[in-house]
Chain A
């Protein structure tokens, strides 16, 4: 059962997807559903003995291309509609123990190409307003499968964070005639205190008003809205930036740092949008052993409290792991 219910108080959609309660939860490695199907073994989601990168529609989708009718009737104030959309799983590798961190830059470039292709295909569907690609890493984030993978949600609406970013970008452009993302990037590069890494065409840094202690954003220096607009050298620069950042994260406390990776692209539903492509990483750790939870102020009021100074966390991230070409 899945449907969209309108939250009249917040002015946003909530996806109700009850069947996800039954999804696979931390299966033993021999029963990993994202591994290739081996002869004589339990079939997995991928009926092949070998593959490079696989994408399939999620068995437990929040959004579906042929969604069921809603279970309840809505009202004028609280409408309900079918959960139309697409949820896909992107399996990065046939190897259960592979990691993005341990991947070659060339292999990461191929993954970026797949992300771009999914954005193009799903974004072209008339019912899709926003293509959101993300990865959850680590049990602290709630990962239910350890095999390296990410996900794609193709929403039939502009989700709240994208809507706010789009609105702020538009407001800035109307006031100043410039791209907010470009101006922020220029300011941050000139300041330098929060910069963590730079690769050809890309900059990574802790944002000025970071919500999470080791939050990092990666953004192209050129004004680009979608992944498929990147030139070849920019794709290569992004792959190197991703690898560099992940090596830094893993070096920070000496273990693979859990994180959420969120790719923010321009909406695909048409309209006048000026959003600047960027990646956001939110690791939940505030120290080696302590996690930041979304508690009263964050969950109840939407106001984040960061226990660290972005200038200090950026300096720490600069000091660990590789820089630039050394990550290759």
Chain B
């Protein structure tokens, strides 16, 4: 069935991104307006806005399944794109869409369910001979069981929320003294974040690389992979910089891991876009971690090297179309790097930096792609995640991509809010990063500071402060004798005074 309209059940840059492809395909788009962000950029771009802001419900807008379904029915919208986060990996939501004859642009509810529950996912992987880490065969029920299990497989171990993702409900346990405390914290966090306190335990691989494969499948049993993404630059399991391809893989390993990714997807009759995550250790052993049954934040790097539009593929697959290409048609070109620009204060432990973006100017140009969810005067609220935009660079080689990323980051101008740009610059300038010699502990181990700084920066900042302080003093003094000394006012002071009028 051809899709003629899409309800975008998301916000921020991904709502903007989905809207862009939908419009290109001649599909009518609908956005959801919330009281938390009534002036958001995406609302200005979509064809029609459904207003959820007049009545406040207990359930957050983008998680309110029945309200979203109701809206789609009222406005006779064919399909819903969930983006990432919120309801993207909620099997019940996918099911409800199906029941109401609304096309869910994503995989089937059973595929979401099976892969979303990590315990089931692991069992499926095991059955299909996909390499796995040693760990609990199911959920760990209590502290005692966790301690026994950890003793058996050896410390360090990691506790993870069975329904988790994005680093929440994850705890590394170094030794037996910590296990009880960590178990409580992990279950508490899991309960809070996912409404499901169950956690499982597995061997923790130190210093692994995080490598994930983009796969796409159709509803006719075809499934291919579009190469990998290197997402090892993470802090507390939150990805900050991603690239494709990964310097750690060669053609042979890529084919081997890609084959595993496709096999696991096929095992659950997967269709739409999905991501299979692996850990890669120093000896190039890889282990299946989990599968994300949604479009990922970092999908643009794959789009840049593959030349494909993943949102378009998702829509076409949801319509029931066959994949337009086979595995051997996939050609990956050059190197792409993505930097996440988050409203976070890197100097204060990446704490959210809320406020108003007074002014934002991001670079444009050949091989520069900006996926942004904000504009001038956008408000950064505490209600949603802190990502503002993504800067994606495509170049022939990794070296050139890094150089181009540095140049582009220096042209990102944001006033009113602190962002992760100084952090991204710091990483790009790091020798080991440039040599592609890093793993998931890069941030803790390799960075002396978390932000980029030139030797003269502090002095210049001191000058700005002194200048402003002095200007205020001078203004006071000169106003009194203005008539006689009018001509003597320094241009700096005059400028300052004009501004304060």
Q: Do A and B come from one complex?
A: no
Q: Which residues of A contact B (CB under 8 A)?
A: none
Q: Which residues of B contact A (CB under 8 A)?
A: none
